Amino acid sequence: MHLNDSQKEFASRTDRHDYLGSGKIGLPAFRAIANDPRLADKALILEKSGKSLAHSKELIESFRQLRG
């Protein structure tokens, strides 16, 4: 599954990526994805590259560690 936040609103018909938590989708959605048991064994591919890639990976891992 590939992940990216979005610079544009839903249904804008524009594919502009943003770093996790910096766009219109927001951190709660990614927290839910990271903690969904149906996705526990699935690869999560962060589609936004650059200097914040490591930060995005850390966010996803921190969401998984908060799982209860």
- Residue that wins the pLDDT comparison between 20 and 6: 6
Q: How far is CA 24 from CA 3, 28, 67, in A?
A: 13, 11, 24
Of the pLDDT bands very low, low, confident and very high (cuts 50, 70, 90), residue 3 is confident
Tens of pLDDT, residue by residue over 55-64, are 777 777 777 7
DSSP one-letter code for 67: -
Number of domains making up the chain: 1
Domain interval for residue 19: 2-65
> Could you tell me the pTM of the whole model?
0.67
What secondary structure, in 3-state letters, does 2-52 show?
EECEECCCCCCCCCCEECCCCCCCCHHHHHHHHCCHHHCCCCCEECCCCCC
